[in-house]
Structure 1
Amino acid sequence: MGFFNIWTFIFTIINILVLYYILKRLLFKPVTQFLEDRENKIKSSLEEAEREKQEAYNLKAKYEEILQNADNEKKAIIERAQKFAEERANKIIDDANKEAKAIIERAKEEASLEKIKAMHDLREELSQLVIDAASRVLEKKLPINDEDIIEEVIEEAGASWHK
């Protein structure tokens, strides 16, 4: 039995070594390769995720900058529009004031011309009245200081003036 035990022991060791070699070739190498590939894939995914995270931060910063620039531009446009509107309003007010002054000046000139015309018409009418009064005085051969004729001429003048 001792001999059998040694051969069995040697045979078992050879079987174990062959089995180890076969398992190493067929199982350990593919499993190890699979685990290394999986580890590399995970590392690659983590690096990709980190890179994408950094890109996202960069894009976020860029978009925030764009939004800030847009906000600043919006404020600048509003300020320009308000300034333009204010300038336009001031110009319209100035133009309206100038037009109002021109209208007032024209009205004053027209009033002055109407006054001159009225004075001229009054002079003509008074001249006509004086001529009428003088001709009546001459027709009646009355003295020029006759108050009745003068009052009659003045009443006729007042009646024609109110017409």
Structure 2
Amino acid sequence: MLNLDWNIIWTFVNILVIYFFLKRFLFKPVTEIMEKRTQTIEDSLQDAEDTKLEANKLKDEYAAELSHADEEAAKIINEARDRATSEYNRRIKETKEEAARIMQEASKTIELERKQSIQNAQAEIAGIAMLAASKIINKNMDDSKNKEFLGIS
């Protein structure tokens, strides 16, 4: 018949008790710690991925802003260049107009001085001619000839 060995049964019972004891006090806490650790690692990896995505997004935004800043700087430089060219052309035009005005005034002054010189010369020539005529008349004519010259008898 069957002979049961109580040692085997007690060993089996001891093994079951140890198994449940270990399951309750060792395996379950270790498993929870490992799950928490796994969750912490996954959270850290997700945070790192989110941070990486945010950094890439910021990098793209900064690159776009930098590109926009370069375009803005080029636009400002072109506007400044256009204003400088416009100012240069305006000043050249003003200078040419001023030079033309000065030349016109100088021409008028020269013409006026030339007319005055001609008038002065004519006046001097007339004065000299009168003086010469009076000297000639005084010298060459006496009273009778003056009366005869004037048509007085």
* Match of residue 82 from structure 1: 81
CA distance, structure 2, for counterparts of residue 69 and residue 40 of structure 1: 43
Gaps of 5+ in 2: 142-153
Distance 1:27 1:140 in 2: 164
Matched, 1:69 2:68: yes
Aligned pairs for 1:2-151 (under 5 A) are 6-141=5-140
Paired residues in the alignment total 139
Q: How far apart, CA to CA, are the structure 2 residues paired with 1:47 and 1:65? A: 27
Task: Using the TM superposition, name which of 11-20 and 71-80 deviates more.
Answer: 11-20
Give distance in 2, aligned partners of 1:16 and 1:126. 158
After superposition, residues 146-157 of structure 1 pair within 5 angstroms as none
Distance 1:136 1:12 in 2: 177
Q: Tell me, in whole angstroms, the C-alpha distance in 2 between the residues paired with 1:7 and 1:108.
A: 146
The CA deviation at 1:20 is 1.3
Give the TM-score taking structure 2 as reference length.
0.86
Distance 1:137 1:68 in 2: 101
Percent identity over paired residues: 37
Q: 1:27 and 1:131 mapped to 2: Cα distance?
A: 151
Which residue pairs with 2:147 in the alignment?
none
Q: Report runs of 4+ in structure 1 exceeding 6 Å deviation.
A: none
RMSD: 1.4
| Paired residue type of 1:13 | F
Q: Partner letter of residue 36 of structure 1?
A: E
Of the two structures, which has the highest relative contact order with CA contacts closer than 8 Å and spacing of 6 or more?
1
Aligned to 2:149: none
Deviation at 1:139, TM superposition (A): 2.3
- Structure 1: gaps of 5 or more residues: 143-163
